[in-house]
Amino acid sequence: MGEKTTGGNEKATSEAMSIVADKAPVTRRRKVAQDLDAKLPKPYVPRALVAADAEHVNGTWGHRHRNMSVLQQHIAFFDQDNNGIIYPWETFKGFRDIGFNPVASFIVMLLIHAAMSYATLPTWLPSPFFPIYIDNIHKAKHGSDTSTYDTEGRFVPANLENIFTKYAHTAPDKMTFRELWHMTDANRNVFDFYGWITSKVEWVGLYILAKDSEGYLTKEAVRRCFDGSLFEYCAKTRKGASAKLG
């Protein structure tokens, strides 16, 4: 009786921890990260200040969080005068600084401020200058995303890992453009047309900015995009290259 009970408990535990349901083939194709606790303490606890993953448990080395949420850090690069408000011309300059051409920078500036400004305003009255208030950026979080930011702008390490365990089939820590596109399709919420489009624009823009020489988007580039340190790195690299040419 004791052996049968033990065996039954083991089977129940195995089923309770299973990440695959045979009658839901999608669970076999999109496997979630396992055993993260061995590398990263409490990976499912959202981090308010750092973008941590299994390789960077304390976030990006040398990156100052300035007591901002990770989502706030993500956009703080574009606050050129550090006053907590991002105006369209600051966004335009920021995208130029990281390497986008004037036309792309202008289009992205229009899309970002038209879509996100009003949600972040501290008043019900719209502003003709379309500012984005960093304090309220969590209010502009859209659907059909990876949920790596929670609704308050904290960073969920397990969800970053799941992006790659689910969709990076060519290599474990990098995605092709096709895999990235499939990932954005898979995250769509029903009838969330705004979220579908926004997610595509964000991820395709990130791919253009950060793909490596072989055409892959690495997990490290994605992680550093989430905390904004990628933008700082790209701007410094581009500025240094311009200085050498000068």
pLDDT digit string, tens, across residues 15-26: 888 999 999 999
Mean pLDDT to the nearest integer, 213-222:
98
Question: What pTM value is reported for the model?
Answer: 0.92
Mean pLDDT to the nearest integer, 42-65:
97
Of 73, 23, 83, 25, the residue nearest 52 (C-alpha): 73
State the pLDDT at residue 15: 83
pLDDT value at 48 more than 60: yes
Phi-psi region of 86 (alpha: psi -120 to 50; beta: other; left: phi over 0): beta
User: What is the set of domains in the chain, with CATH numbers?
Assistant: 66-140 (1.10.238), 155-246 (no CATH)
Instruction: Annotate 43-57 with b (16+ C-beta within 10 A) or e (fewer).
Output: beebbbbbbbbbebe
> Residues 121-180: pLDDT tens digits?
999 999 999 999 999 999 999 999 999 999 999 999 999 999 999 999 999 999 999 999
HSE, side-chain direction, 13 A CA sphere, residue 41? 4
What is the distance between the alpha carbons of residues 205 and 104, in angstroms, rounded to a whole number? 10
Judge contact between 137 and 128, C-beta under 8 A: no
Mean pLDDT to the nearest integer, 193-207:
97
Task: List CB contacts of 243: < 8 A, sequence separation 6 or more.
Answer: none
